[in-house]
Amino acid sequence: MIKIVGIGPRREDMTTMTLQALKEADVIIGYGGYTRKIKDLLEGKNVISRGMGQEVNRAELAIEYSKKGRNVVLVSSGDPGVYGMANVLYQIMGKYSEVEVEVVPGVSAVNYSAALLGAPLHDFAVISLSDILTPLSEIKRKIRAAAEADFVIAFYNPRSKRRTEPFKEALKILSEVRKPETLVGLVKSQNNTPSVKIFLLNQLKEEDVDMNTTLIVGNTFTYAADGNMVTPRGYVLSHSTHPLAYEFYEKYLAGEGNKGPNTSCEYYPCHSHPQNCTFCYCPFYPCGDPSTGGKWIKEKKVWSCEECTWIHQDDTVQCIEAKLPKLLEKAEDLQNNKKELLKLRRECVYLTK
């Protein structure tokens, strides 16, 4: 029996399943840097350590000892199925028969880093920038596809002293596809102590990263709040519709609303000139999404749109009005169809922001 275990980024992150597998094992096989981290847990075991780059040899040894009837543990860092030993072993197993294998999941670097940054993950892609086994053309293709699809992107193995070209290409592609204000989270491990930073894409420099760094690049909706990096999922926030908003949308639905700038309004411009006043009252209020400039007034627990100018852009209004008639047939639909309205908002934010 072979169990492929992930010991997480740090030994404190090991799961109880991994600890139990180590306890039951006769033979432990792994990269020396990993087995040394858990040396005290391996007393009395036959420990076989191999260097970096000897992954195939480790897998072959695990199969050899397993076929002798030993309980074998094959050690990976993080999660064994994410750039770990699970892929290697399963690829090799094809030429053997009667090999019993169990993958014991661990805490991956992307999950560990995301937890330190806050909550940056929604739909996301994980891409390794190591071109040791993967052609650079394939890496570039995947980065561009993920960036254009607006995935949150986590980068493993971004840059070593000699392997710098993939990271340069990644920065180039991201700068071409993503807005310069896109948020980037950086988690770097130094002497088992993580360093966490959040900054803008146009502030990211090559010297910021090394092989001990995990990068998480946010999407269109990712924002920073109270030192955290957050990608909202679009949940509906309970809130009653203001009577003036009802009155506004009754007039709007009757064709009596204002189109474009309303310069006759005593409050114009309530944001900045020129502004489109078609949606004086936002149909998505409260969106609860700071990525367009809104924020909570915490002492009052009220959502403020004061710094959001997105709803007053011409292209935003055009995008919303293309589909709004199907969702808003009467003013009460501001509440009844809030979930669908917020989905329309996400669509238009992506197309216009």
For residue 235, tell me if it sits in a domain.
Answer: no
> Which residue among 174, 201, 230 closes a domain?
230
pLDDT (tens digit, 9 = 90+) per residue, 197-239?
A: 999 999 998 889 998 899 999 999 999 999 999 999 999 988 8
Sequence letter at residue 344: L
> Which residue among 91, 107, 123 closes a domain?
107
Sequence letter at residue 258: N
Degrees (nearest 5) of the Cα angle 19, 155, 128? 80
List the chain residues with pLDDT less than 70.
none
Residues 223 and 199 in one domain: yes
For residue 238, tell me if it sits in a domain.
Answer: no
Residues 267 and 253 in one domain: yes
- Structural domain count of the chain: 3
For residue 100, tell me if it sits in a domain.
Answer: yes
* pLDDT attached to residue 52: 85
* pLDDT attached to residue 154: 98
What's the rounded Cα separation, in Å, for the pair 95 and 288? Answer: 55
> Residues 63, 99: contact at Cβ < 8 Å?
yes
Assign residue 83 the CATH number of its domain.
Answer: 3.40.1010.10
- What is the span of the domain harbouring residue 274? 243-352
Q: Whose CA is closest to 275, among 257, 259, 299, 252? A: 259
| CB-count burial class (<10 Å; 0-12, 13-18, 19+) for 259 | exposed
For residue 55, tell me if it sits in a domain.
Answer: yes
What's the rounded Cα separation, in Å, for the pair 21 and 73? Answer: 7
Residues 125 and 39 in one domain: no
Residues 127 and 214 in one domain: yes
> Which residue among 230, 254, 278 closes a domain?
230
Q: How far is CA 125 from CA 38, 80, 101, 109, 308, in A?
A: 30, 17, 27, 13, 29
Residues 85 and 137 in one domain: no
> Residues 81, 103: contact at Cβ < 8 Å?
yes
